[in-house]
Amino acid sequence: MMTEIFMMLFMLLILFFKNNIFMIKNFISCLLMLMSVKLFMKYYFLINFCMISLNFGMSIYSYMMVILSMWIFSLIILFLNEKGNLLCLKMLLILLINLIMFFLSLQLFLFYFMFEFSLIMIFFIIIKWGKGEKCLEASYYMMFYTLFFSLPFLIFLFMVIFNMKVDLMMLLELKYFWMNNYFFFFMMSTFFVKIPIYMFHGWLLKAHVEAPVFGSMILASILLKLGTYGLLQMMLIFMFLFIKLKFYIIMLSLLGSVILSGVCLRQMDMKILVAYSSVVHMGILISSMLTFFKISVIGGYIIMVAHGLCSSGLFYLVNICYQETNSRLMLINKGMMNYIPKMGMMWFLFCTSNMSAPISLNLVGEVLLLIGLMMWMEYLMVLMILFCFLGVIYSLYLFCYLQHGEMNYYLKIKSNKMIDYIVLILHWLPLNLMFLNLLFF
């Protein structure tokens, strides 16, 4: 795995040669794709705890997150404009190295450091390339939201290092921790904010609205998974403390998912609707994973991969409409099928994947999540029926309102570039072909 990290450092050095940025950009994108495919094939049968170096190691959960990160970043680098993107390429490669080191870290301090360092990178991306008027406000909102809730975890980290003289996460799993329930919930809010679950999601909407398209794609597909992956690691360390509080967290997440599904039906801004749908999916993911059933953890793992591909593709589609009409409102963008019929097909494919229709990976993941919740408490069936029904309704609402309707004759829409279709197809193919071998999960 260190080979891949050194390869990315080599890519970063290449960027200092400014002769042909376009060629360098395509070279880096293709190299990242090849590395992700190589990882997928090489370690398919070799994932075990022998793959451990000094501070880094790979498990079955970090393995797929690393591949997802490399795949999404390769697609982002592929569609970046040729002019003025040298600094952007450097920032993206540094952020990618940071994310891979986070997913592979075995030490708690390194884990926390990489977790917070990614916030600085996305903060800079939103300020530098954000197109909205309030990008500075959204960036500060996100930073202070995250830093405030991460302070209790930092206090716990120093207590562990000074008292136990070790911060290796595999050894901490053998230790029984006892602490006040309120402090523990506040400490885990570090990950609840990053996921985010209901009532901790205020920063996400502002950040998505003001972020550039590649910032939104990174934020939705990978940075939200930092919270779920971190919570999964903490579940192994603080299992007994989670068992005491899991009822309250599960009910908060489930009720929040149902409420925000209804809120999606009132949205006219496409980007906010897709951002709300991310919070809805993360809510059902966390509520099921905290039941501690193996089927729930596997379902959550599948949804982490599926949602990363689906939400990234949806944000890219929203950006395509925004480039043509300079508006994210569905009222202005309606009747888009009359202008770009082929793009209407891509909207249909991603909206059906977002509603967990066959044959997408979302269907498999949500079925496993719902089975885990039913095994834990049968009375949750009413909430789960509402969740599934509203999830289908707002996805169809997004597609029908946007693609159908009268034509706006004041709009002059050009045909899309081939690169748009390539990026969207490379999002959709893994999302709908990985169900062919579910034994991988």
Give 314-341 pLDDT, tens digit per residue. 999 999 989 888 888 888 888 888 888 8
Mean predicted confidence (pLDDT) in 266-284? 92
- Classified as helix, coil or strand, 74 is helix
Residue found by looking up tokens 């800079």 in the block: 124
User: Does residue 119 fall inside a structural domain?
Assistant: yes
The domain tally of the chain equals: 1
Rounded to the nearest 5°, which phi and psi values hold at 321? Answer: -65, -40
Give me 115's structure tokens. 């977790």
Confirm whether 152 is domain-assigned: yes
Q: How far is CA 433 from CA 40, 337, 427, in A?
A: 14, 26, 11
Whole-number pLDDT of residue 374: 92
CA-based end-to-end distance of the chain: 20
The helix/strand/coil state of 374 is helix
**Residue 111 maps to a domain:** yes
pLDDT range class, residue 258, cuts 50, 70, 90: very high
Q: Is residue 145 part of a domain?
A: yes
pLDDT tens digits for 163-219? 777 777 766 766 677 788 888 898 899 999 988 988 888 899 989 888 999 999 999
> Over the stretch 49-103, which tens digit does the pLDDT of each residue have?
445 566 777 778 888 898 899 899 989 988 886 545 778 888 888 899 899 889 9
Q: Does residue 214 lie in a domain region? A: yes
d(CA 21, CA 19): 6
196 domain residue, yes or no: yes
The answer to whether residue 10 is domain-embedded is: no
Instruction: Compute the distance between CA of residue 289 and CA of residue 189 in angstroms, rounded to an integer.
Output: 16
Burial class of 338 by CB neighbour count within 10 A (0 to 12, 13 to 18, 19+): middle
**Measured between alpha carbons, how far is 85 from 26 in angstroms, rounded to an integer?**
13
Instruction: Note the pLDDT of residue 49.
Output: 46
Number of Cβ atoms within 10 Å of the Cβ of 358: 11
pTM score of the predicted model? 0.92
Indicate the average pLDDT of the chain: 84
Task: Answer whether residue 46 is part of any domain.
Answer: no
Can you tell me the distance from the alpha carbon of 209 to that of 207, in angstroms, rounded to the nearest whole number? 6
Give the domain range for residue 174. Answer: 107-440
pLDDT at 418: 86
